[in-house]
Amino acid sequence: MTTVLTFSNFKGGTGKTTNSTMTGIELAKRGFKTLLIDLDPQANATNLYLKTKENVNGEFVTFGQTLMAGIKNKDIKATIIEVINNLDIIPSSADFALYPRYMETVFQSYTDRVKYLSELMSEWKNEYDYILIDVPPTISLITDSALYATDYAVIVLQTQERSLQGAEAFIHYLQETLINQFHAPTLDVLGILPVLLKNGAPVDISTLSKAEKMFGKENMFQTTIKNMERLKRYDVTGVTFKDQFDRAVEAVYKKVVDELIARILEG
């Protein structure tokens, strides 16, 4: 059985990419065959993983076929690159911004366009235990297609008012549009993962307690993601595996993955 996870929130810069890429690495370390599909034309996850691959292999990595080319050839599997053992990526690049416009030329009906990604995945998705989809922050055919293919959405909540509103809007959108209108076959919310702005500052504590009231305590991840400089540095260096700061990051994502798996088993 494959589980498809999407870390999401309709607010930009809340940690969607950071949490999906770090979760992917931890799942792979545990021996789960994992794929990250980067559906964001910003290609942040792609850059992070390719640098990580360079750190591990010591050689510069490039990729031949873009995701957009794979879509046009009806074969996105051909674009897969191995990052580390058990972890693959379907890389994105700027041309993926053309996806919505391209799909308009392929299908008349918007719902058919939404379903297409999931169809492209159907033949080979069973080769993976986990598939993570990294999405851009705005509502578009790209996010709709990702969520249609998703089993569990993890809502990344940065502890500030706007992210709270983004999370609420997102849950509403899932129900009204993805489930009621497009009939997303398996979509559910796995929980809300809090990302602290300032490690225990009053704004964190007050947003967390508001979130508990809004969404219910049982829907909140008990694990919170602290602000860690090392995570920011990975944007530049790729993920590194060498000192105590790397190990501190690893320890956090071990807890995230423990809780993630426990929640999936419960659900």
Ligand X SMILES: Nc1ncnc2c1ncn2[C@@H]1O[C@H](COP(=O)(O)OP(=O)(O)OP(=O)(O)O)[C@@H](O)[C@H]1O
Q: Which residues bind Mg ion (CB under 5 A)?
A: 16-17, 44
State the pairing for strand pair 87-90/130-134. Answer: unpaired
Give the range of 7-15, 91-99, 178-186, 236-244 binding ligand X by CB under 6 A: 7-15
Is the CB of 124 or the CB of 227 nearer to ligand X? 227
184's CB contacts (< 8 A; 6+ apart) are 147, 148, 150, 178
- Nearest CA-CA partner of 154 in 182, 181, 174, 178: 174
Residue 232 interacts, among Mg ion, ligand X, none and using kind-specific CB cut-offs from 5 to 8 Å, with ligand X
Point out which span in 16-24, 165-173, 186-194, 239-247 binds ligand X (CB under 6 A).
Answer: 16-24
CB of 225 to ligand X, least distance (A): 5
In the list ligand X, Mg ion, none, the entry touching 29 (Cβ below 5 to 8 angstroms by class) is none
One character per residue 227-266, x = contact with ligand X (rule: CB under 6 A): xx--xx--x-------------------------------
With contact defined as beta carbons under 8 Å apart, do 11 and 159 qualify? no
Nearer CB in complex with ligand X: 22/115: 22
d(CA 228, CA 128): 30
Cβ contacts of 194 within 8 Å, gap of 6 or more: 157, 158, 159, 204, 207, 208, 211, 220, 221, 224, 225
Strands lying side by side in the sheet with 34-38: 81-84, 87-90, 34-38, 130-134, 3-8, 152-158, 188-195
Of positions 3, 17, 34, 207, contacts ligand X by CB under 6 A: 17
- List the beta bridge partners of residue 81: 89
* Minimum CB distance to Mg ion smaller for 38 or for 88: 38
In the bound state with Mg ion, the residue whose beta carbon lies nearer, of 11 and 16, is 16
Q: Pick the binder of ligand X from 3, 14, 23, 160 (CB under 6 A).
A: 14
Residues 6+ apart with CB under 8 A from 119: none
Q: Exposed, middle or buried: residue 90 (CB in 10 Å: 0-12, 13-18, 19+)?
A: buried
Nearest approach in angstroms of CB 7 to ligand X is: 8
Site string for ligand X, 180-199 (x = CB under 6 A): ---------------x----
Residues 109-168, interacting with ligand X (CB under 6 A):
136-137
User: Which partner from the list ligand X, Mg ion, none does 12 bind, CB cut-off 5 to 8 Å by kind?
Assistant: ligand X
Q: Which is nearer to ligand X, 23 or 42 (CB)?
A: 42
The residues that touch ligand X, with contacts defined as CB under 6 A, are 12-18, 40, 42, 44, 136-137, 195, 225, 227-228, 231-232, 235
